[in-house]
Amino acid sequence: MNCLYEDSPEGVRVIRLIGRMDIQGAEQISLQFTALCAGTAPILVNLSELDFIGSLGIGTLVAAARTVHQRNGRFVLFGAKADVLTALNRTNVPAIIPTRDTWAEARALVAAPA
C-alpha cells in the first residue's frame, strides 16, 4: 500500500492511495495519511488506484475526514473504482464524506464556498 501526495499552487493537497487498503495496507499508511491530513489545506483523496478497501481502511478515511472537518476544512474522496465505491456506499461513507467521480468534480467542491 502506498500513500503519495502533492500540494497544488492553489493550496489543495491531493493524496493518492495505491494498492489494497485491507488490514495490512491500512496499518502501513495510517500514520502517514493522518499526518498528511493534519494541515489546513483542503484535502482531495484520489482513490482511482485503490483496488480494495476494508473496514479498517474505511475507518482510517472517516477518522481523517472528521479531524479535517473539526478544523472547518474540506475533505473529498474521488475516482473510486466500482468495487471500492460499492464498499463505501454499503457503509454509508458518502453521507459523511463527499464522494465524487472525478478530480474536476472534487476540485470544484473544495473551491466552492463552505
pLDDT bin (cut points 50, 70, 90) of residue 13 is very high
* 3-class state of residue 2 by DSSP: strand
pLDDT bin (cut points 50, 70, 90) of residue 40 is confident
Cβ-proximal residues to 82 (8 Å cutoff; 6+ apart), any chain: none
Between 91 and 40, where is the model more confident? 91
Amino acid identity of 88?
Answer: L
pLDDT bin (cut points 50, 70, 90) of residue 111 is confident
Contact by Cβ (8 Å): 73, 43: yes
The class level of CATH for 2-105 reads alpha beta
pLDDT bin (cut points 50, 70, 90) of residue 85 is very high
Contact by Cβ (8 Å): 74, 109: yes
Contact by Cβ (8 Å): 99, 65: no
Residue 18 has pLDDT above 90, yes or no: yes
Between 97 and 41, where is the model more confident? 97
Closest CA to 59 of 67, 70, 51: 67
